[in-house]
Amino acid sequence: MTRKRSAGLLLYRGAGPAVEVLLAHMGGPFWATKDAGAWTVPKGEYDEDETPEAAARREFQEELGVPPPGGEPVPLGSVTQTGGKLVTAWALEGDLDPAGITPGTFVMEWPKGSGRMREFPEIDRVAWFGLDEARRKMVSKQRAFLDRLEELLRSAEGAEGAESAEGAGPGGE
């Protein structure tokens, strides 16, 4: 049996301690009353005939009902969730108004064993969170993406600071 794989985009905005990430609250009856551990990178499964990055972009649009912002996504690597699914994510800088989303839906039998099929949103809401709050809300295995994003942004800020320092000093201005 082939291992399930998902790919997603972790949208972020701001810099330094003001960085925020956009997370999606999982939809459906199981997650309706949960908060901690019920938020995720907008993502979805893909097959062999699609690249993970293309799947991440497609799933962002399917999950949120809006295309991802332009720009070049930066790889955040992969994590294996508790159930064994491999999740690969990319960071993408951009902004999005959570009120503008139109989530996709799925159908399942509910209540279980009732024989009645019902439609539910794949995600029931999205919101921006600072990194500390995002860590509390996110699916535990995906928290590594926040650590990797934080490191990526620190590295970028360090590189920008070094470039600024090169031009400063005697005769450099």
- Tokens found for residue 79: 């994590």
Q: What is the pLDDT of residue 53?
A: 97
**β-strand pairing of 74-80 with 105-109:** unpaired
Residue 84 and residue 99 in contact, taking contact as beta carbons nearer than 8 Å: no
CA distance 170 to 167: 9
Cβ neighbours of 95 (radius 10 Å): 12
pLDDT at position 104: 86
Contact 37, 116 (CB under 8 A): no
Contact 6, 84 (CB under 8 A): no
CA distance 69 to 141: 25
What domains are defined for the chain?
Answer: 5-164 (3.90.79.10)
pLDDT at 172: 47
Q: What is the DSSP string of 86-119?
A: EEEEEEEE----GGG----EEEEESSTTS--EEE
Q: What integer pLDDT is reported at residue 173 of this predicted model?
A: 46
Separation of CA 168 from chain center: 38
Radius of gyration of the chain measured on its C-alpha atoms: 19
pTM of the model: 0.87
Task: At 23, list the tokens.
Answer: 């997370």
- For residue 140, the 8-state DSSP code is G
Give average pLDDT by consecutive 10-residue segment, the chain, 173 residues. Answer: 90 93 95 94 95 97 94 97 95 96 92 95 95 97 97 84 54 47
CB 12 within 8 A of CB 21: yes
